[in-house]
Structure 1
Amino acid sequence: MNKTLGPPRTDPAAGDDSAAHHPPTAAPSTGPTTGPARRRRGARTPGSLSRFGVNAILLLVVVYTLAPPVWLLMASTKNLTDLFGTNGFAPGRQFHLFENLRHLFAADNGIYVRWLWNTLLYAGGGAVLAALICAMAGYAFDKFTFPGKGAAYGLVLLGVMVPSAALVLPTYLLAAEVGLVNTFWGVFLPGLVFPFGVYLARIFSASYVPDEVIEAARMDGAGELRAFWSVALPMMRSGVVTIGLFQFTAIWNNFFLPLVMLSNQQLYPVNLGLYAWNASALSQGHPDDYLLAITGSLVAVIPLIALFLAVQRSWRSGMTAGAVK
């Protein structure tokens, strides 16, 4: 007897075991898109975030650097009314720069020219001599062996870590003992001491002056001074220029030492003279001195810019001077 077999019946109470043996097929999941599709939706990568952060910081640095010179240039073109009545970063209603310059160089019988000349002597002469002294000291620390060398170089490094402002009062007391207070030498001589320059000079001597070259110069009959002047110093030219620039800027911006050391206005550097004009405008009610201080500050920036533009070629080309092929 033939029976037609149909599909197996399942007990509703027992449940359907087929689901356990044959789980349903899961729908394909859509994971996060990567690559060009993700970038097309505008998502930022870590690299773009870092570039954005770096550019933002650089923009802030540029604004911080350029804002004071721009304000100074705009303020120098105004008269006293426009100086206090217009926006600081906008030009005045009329152009008064040349009038302010004439007033600057004629004020107090041309004392501003005297202040500029004093500053050039303090900074220019001090930077040249300090760079030469540092080059000789750094060369000696690098090439010679002598008793107490380590202790002496340790004192140099200690001098690097001591702030220059902390040495002003001891320097004043020493100058008072030898009668140098309120004299040109009381400001000029301290500018010849530059411990950081000695540290740089030793590094440049070790990097650009091979010991073999000095030994060859000695074998050819050159003395120690001749070997330094004719062989080592040209190789260290980039270092000497760098040290000179650093010290020139430091002396030019030095304010505290002349303030303590000098009382004669004929010996003032330009920054102390500008401070005196600004103090006169504040305390003695001379508003015209504001324009003198502002215009004088603009003129005082020009020698620094001219110096850096003049020596940048020697600075860059000197980096390869003395290379051993």
Structure 2
Amino acid sequence: MTPVQLRYRILTCTLLTVAAVYFLVPVYWLVVSATKSSGDLFGSFGFWFANPRPLQYLGEVLTYDHGIYVRWFANSLLYAGVGALAATLLSAAAGYALAKFPFPGREGIFNVILAGVLIPGTALALPLYFLFSGFGMSNTYWSVLIPSVVSPFGVYLCRIYAAAAVPDSLLEAARIDGAGEWRIFSGLGLRLMIPALVTVFLFQFVHIWNNYFLPLVMLSDSDLYPIQLGLTSWTGYADRQPELYQYTVGGAFLSVLPLMILMTVLQRYWRTGLTEGSVKA
């Protein structure tokens, strides 16, 4: 290894280490704080344990107010799981159609969808509220679920990936064998697009799971709250009920576990997609 290569390797490892510390330190603090009482949360060193009782404190989070946190957790799973799955399938169908079926105005439609990536979700929250309110659907599960199934970035990614990963010759061979377009899409297109679909699903799941402003605008019934909105409501009452500080921290710790599990389970599909192009047929 030459001195120049050694310097680049040291620089790369240093930058990666700094980035890892930057992202892992808040998680470590959250793990430590979830084991503390409200008094120890403010009266002890923040990055070390003090009378840790994780099972007791997390159990109190789950049972407080007749288990309202469990309901919020289930609501978040519903919003994020169903919304991300529907958004992934819709993005796959739209991206596949835009990539493989030439029709008048195709590029114009794609450009309009691409422009949607630049529009922040907060700018659409109030118009969506007035729209759903006009249909009598505000303060319902649908008012959060329906906007979550639209992902302009997902359509863009699926179109780009379908154009590169789904060969036209393979589609023509399937048509010659008598397969219909739906069967081709479901049997060939979706399988070849799995790495892109996993990416869209994960991005959309994380986006919906962490979404705060849309549920804040749409929902007034606390039984419909997702975790993010529920924890914020606890914080608002923490001055009068100090134990809610500890419940909020414990609830935040529990809320990141599904994202960690999802990332661990789905990352192998990314590795598969990255290595497919390096293997010769």
Question: Which residue pairs with 2:97 in the alignment?
Answer: 140
Question: Which residue pairs with 2:236 in the alignment?
Answer: 279
Using a 3 Å threshold, how does the CA distance of structure 1 residues 168 and 149 change in structure 2: closer, same or farther? same
Post-superposition CA distance 1:264-317 (Å, at most 9, x none): 0110001111111111114xx211100110000111111111111222223322
Identical-residue share of aligned pairs (%) = 45
Deviates most, 171-180 or 131-140: 171-180
Report the Cα offset of residue 59 of structure 1.
3.2
Question: Which residue pairs with 1:82 in the alignment?
Answer: 40
**CA distance in 2 between partners of 1:245 and 1:196 (Å):** 12
Task: Look up the equivalent residue of 1:179 and give its one-letter code.
Answer: G
Task: Look up the equivalent residue of 2:104 and give its one-letter code.
Answer: P
**CA distance in 1 between partners of 2:100 and 2:178 (Å):** 18
**CA distance in 1 between partners of 2:11 and 2:4 (Å):** 11
Does residue 156 (structure 1) correspond to residue 113 (structure 2)? The answer is: yes
Uncovered stretches (5+) of structure 1, i.e. residues with no partner:
1-44
Deviates most, 55-64 or 182-191: 55-64
Is this contact kept in 2: 1:236–1:321, CA < 8 A? no
**CA distance in 2 between partners of 1:196 and 1:51 (Å):** 34
Question: Which residue pairs with 1:16 in the alignment?
Answer: none
Using a 3 Å threshold, how does the CA distance of structure 1 residues 60 and 227 change in structure 2: closer, same or farther? same
Task: Report the TM-score when normalising by structure 1.
Answer: 0.81
Structure 2 SS opposite 1:188: helix
Using a 3 Å threshold, how does the CA distance of structure 1 residues 319 and 226 change in structure 2: closer, same or farther? farther
Question: Which residue pairs with 1:298 in the alignment?
Answer: 253
Task: Look up the equivalent residue of 1:135 and give its one-letter code.
Answer: A
Which of the pair is proportionally richer in helix?
Answer: 2
Question: Which residue pairs with 1:211 in the alignment?
Answer: 168
Using a 3 Å threshold, how does the CA distance of structure 1 residues 60 and 217 change in structure 2: closer, same or farther? same
Task: Look up the equivalent residue of 1:82 and give its one-letter code.
Answer: D
Question: Which residue pairs with 1:21 in the alignment?
Answer: none
Q: CA RMSD in A?
A: 1.9
Question: Which residue pairs with 1:248 in the alignment?
Answer: 205
**Which of 258, 261, 266 is the aligned partner of 2:218?**
261
Question: Which residue pairs with 2:52 in the alignment?
Answer: 95
**CA distance in 2 between partners of 1:324 and 1:176 (Å):** 55
Report the Cα offset of residue 136 of structure 1.
0.5
Question: Which residue pairs with 1:72 in the alignment?
Answer: 30
Task: Look up the equivalent residue of 2:230 and give its one-letter code.
Answer: G
**CA distance in 2 between partners of 1:266 and 1:101 (Å):** 20
Structure number with larger C-alpha Rg = 1
Does residue 168 (structure 1) correspond to residue 125 (structure 2)? The answer is: yes
- Count of aligned positions: 278
Task: Look up the equivalent residue of 1:300 and give its one-letter code.
Answer: S
Task: Report the TM-score when normalising by structure 2.
Answer: 0.93
**CA distance in 2 between partners of 1:53 and 1:318 (Å):** 28
Report the Cα offset of residue 117 of structure 1.
0.6
Report the Cα offset of residue 132 of structure 1.
0.6
Task: Look up the equivalent residue of 1:70 and give its one-letter code.
Answer: Y
**CA distance in 1 between partners of 2:43 and 2:280 (Å):** 63
Structure 2 SS opposite 1:129: helix
Is this contact kept in 2: 1:80–1:288, CA < 8 A? yes
Report the Cα offset of residue 203 of structure 1.
1.2
Task: Look up the equivalent residue of 1:290 and give its one-letter code.
Answer: Y
Using a 3 Å threshold, how does the CA distance of structure 1 residues 212 and 320 change in structure 2: closer, same or farther? farther
**CA distance in 1 between partners of 2:186 and 2:10 (Å):** 50
**CA distance in 2 between partners of 1:259 and 1:267 (Å):** 11
Question: Which residue pairs with 2:156 in the alignment?
Answer: 199
Is this contact kept in 2: 1:281–1:287, CA < 8 A? yes
Post-superposition CA distance 1:85-142 (Å, at most 9, x none): 11110111x1221111111111010011111111111001111111011000000000
Structure number with the bigger relative contact order (C-alpha 8 A, sep ≥ 6) is 2
Task: Look up the equivalent residue of 1:173 and give its one-letter code.
Answer: F
**CA distance in 1 between partners of 2:4 and 2:122 (Å):** 44
Question: Which residue pairs with 2:272 in the alignment?
Answer: 317
Uncovered stretches (5+) of structure 2, i.e. residues with no partner:
none
Using a 3 Å threshold, how does the CA distance of structure 1 residues 233 and 294 change in structure 2: closer, same or farther? same
TM alignment of 1:115-130, pairs within 5 A: 115-130=72-87
